[in-house]
Amino acid sequence: MGKALTAFEKIWNKHVIKEEEGKPALLYIDQHLVHEVTSPQAFEGLRLNGRKVRRPDLTFATMDHNVPTINRENMKDEISIKQMEALKKNCADFGVKLADMYHPDQGIVHIIGPQLGLTQPGKTIVCGDSHTSTHGAFGAFAFGIGTSEVEHVLATQTIWQDKPKTLNVQVVGELGVGVTAKDLILAIIAKFGVRFGTGYVMEYTGEAIRNLTMEERMTICNMSIEAGARAGLISPDETTVEFLRGREMVPEGEAFEALAEDWLALATDEGAEYDHTVTIYADEIEPQVTWGTNPGMGVPVSASTPTIADAEYPDEVKRALEYMDLEENQPITSIHVDHVFIGSCTNSRLSDLKKASKIVEGKKVKEGIKAIVVPGSFLVKQQAEEIGLDKIFIEAGFEWRNSGCSMCLGMNDDIVPSGGRCASTSNRNFEGRQGNGARTHLVSPEMAAAAAIEGHFVDVRQFVGVPS
């Protein structure tokens, strides 16, 4: 038997085309996902140099960042229209498959990859979007790249990579009732910071991770980038295989069984060594709420905002509290919101919407709150409607929208106004992220739903009948 290897090392070894000491390796890319915002300059670069897309069959494009979530037929933003027209033309000219705004496969690029089965264990996956780390939930090596690299992958189907180090994020014990995958990843980033993953591929291990569904695993891996990691990864297992069985882009019958066997063999070997390991105890984690302006500035819902003088970087805390218009030592449950956003590549899958709908069913959104639900894809929307989730949300006072990135980054009309405060299931609480001057609190779908009903943050475990 050979040396025990991590899943990442196995994937890496299978994709190296060329490797020399002291230089980055040339890696083959199995799947390239493309969207309208980070690709126009890349296609233009190909044109200027008379280059082609090497493997259009391994490239898939959609429109997600810019697309309106209402009145799609009546778009007014000329610059957005131009950007989407550019993608359409680029895909037609270079032979790339495109799920445009009206296509049944349209959705947030990180939602539709797994949904179609384009995302598979063992693949190298890139996209001009930092949340490409999402796909690592399947035991793929998936990472975000810039536009120059998008052009490089289009032209060569390869990328130059320094081999990242491996980091084992070991989750010990079980998550409590009412504590979600989102709370776990927020707690990890709050504990270890927004840069502890820099230079690493983070593999999440432990019982709590194994017990997560694929959709929950995607939420975890999605936010690996918020810890600075090159990629997040979870070893494939039966849960992974069953999620992919029957999806459009995976084979059927014996071919699938053979593939599934290969996938399972990719799991990290017992005794494999990581460059570094950190440990977090799942049973100590409460529902989380961020109070500041980066994803590491989060605390349990029962806690308060920090004391400036006690902080490691007092200036940063002071500045963040000022931007957020919060006091130091302010209880989280005293923070009132005026916007609630359920959506984004972190939390807009069917299970997210189901869980949020359970909280709001038969209740009303607090007066004065604008609450929207933006399903992650056209298909998620359709499936949700089949089981009546749209009605539950609409009756409670939510707006039910079409799919896209929407209020996560406000490139379309879905923005939080200056001074507004949003309970958001997205991934970034940066200054101005949801709109210039907007204040963002990152939470789970359940916590966002409960805030919509109560008008301020509450411990969602009160809603699910667990004493807090």
Partner 1 sequence: MEPFKEHKGIAAPLNRGNVDTDQIIPKQFLKRIERTGFGEFLFFHWRFDDDGNLRDDFVLNQPKYENATILLAGDNFGCGSSREHAPWALEDYGFKVIIAPDFADIFYNNSLKNGILVIKMNEEQVQQWMKKAEQGLTLDVDLEKQEITDTDGTVVSFDIPAYHKEKLLNGWDDIALTLLEEDAIQAFEEKRA
Binding residues for partner 1 (CB under 8 A): 17-18, 22-24, 26, 28, 37-38, 40-41, 44-45, 49, 51, 54, 65-66, 77, 79-80, 82-83, 86, 128-130, 144-149, 151-152, 155-158, 160, 162, 194-195, 198-199, 225-226, 228, 230, 294, 313, 316, 319, 409-411, 418, 428, 430-433, 436-437
Dihedral in degrees, nearest 10, Cα atoms 96, 106, 184, 264: -50
Closer residue to partner 1, CB minimum distance, 176 or 199? 199
What is d(CA 248, CA 279) in angstroms, rounded to the nearest whole number? 37
Q: Provide the minimum distance between the beta carbon of 368 and partner 1 in the complex, in angstroms, as a whole number.
A: 23
In the complex with partner 1, which residue's Cβ is closer, 281 or 430? 430
Distance CA 60, CA 362 (A): 40
> Nearest approach, Cβ of 131 to partner 1 (angstroms)?
9
Report the sign of the C-alpha dihedral through residues 277, 278, 282, 288, in that order: negative
Residue 353 Cα to chain centre, angstroms: 15
Smaller CB separation from partner 1, 195 or 245: 195
Q: State in angstroms the smallest separation of the CB of 209 from partner 1.
A: 23
CB of 246 to partner 1, least distance (A): 25
CB of 120 to partner 1, least distance (A): 14
Q: Which is nearer to partner 1, 152 or 401 (CB)?
A: 152
Beta carbon nearer to partner 1, 54 or 191: 54
One-letter identity of residue 145: I
Based on C-alpha coordinates, what's the Rg of the chain?
21
Are the beta carbons of 326 and 291 closer than 8 angstroms? yes
Closer residue to partner 1, CB minimum distance, 172 or 259: 259
Residue 209 to residue 16: CA distance in whole angstroms: 29
How far apart are CB 315 and partner 1 at their closest, in Å? 8
Burial track 125-153 (b if 16+ CB lie within 10 A, e otherwise): bbbbbbbbbbbbbbbbbbbbbebebbbbb
> Which one, 142 or 350, has the nearer CB to partner 1?
142
Nearer to partner 1, 228 or 306 (CB): 228
**How large is the greatest C-alpha to C-alpha distance in the chain, in angstroms?**
65
Is beta strand 158-161 parallel, antiparallel or unpaired with respect to 25-28?
A: antiparallel
CA separation for the pair 407, 412 (Å, rounded):
8
User: Is 4 or 16 the residue whose CB approaches partner 1 more closely?
Assistant: 16
Residues 227, 130 contacting (CB under 8 angstroms): no
Q: Are strands 25-28 and 16-18 parallel, antiparallel or unpaired?
A: antiparallel
Strands ordered across the beta sheet of 59-62: 97-99, 59-62, 31-35, 124-127, 141-144
Minimum CB distance to partner 1, residue 63 (Å): 12
- How far is 405 from 428, CA to CA, in rounded Å? 12
Closest separation between CB of residue 440 and partner 1, Å? 11
Contact 133, 222 (CB under 8 A): yes
Give least dist CB 267 to partner 1, A: 21
Three-point CA angle 147, 152, 157, nearest 5°: 125
Cβ proximity to partner 1, 17 vs 265, nearer residue: 17
Q: Give the nearest distance from C-beta 341 to partner 1 in angstroms.
A: 15
Closest contact distance (angstroms) between CB of 10 and partner 1 is 15
Integer Cα distance of 340 and 357 in angstroms: 13
Which CB atom, from 80 or from 205, has the smaller least distance to partner 1?
A: 80
In angstroms, the CA 227 to CA 200 distance is 10
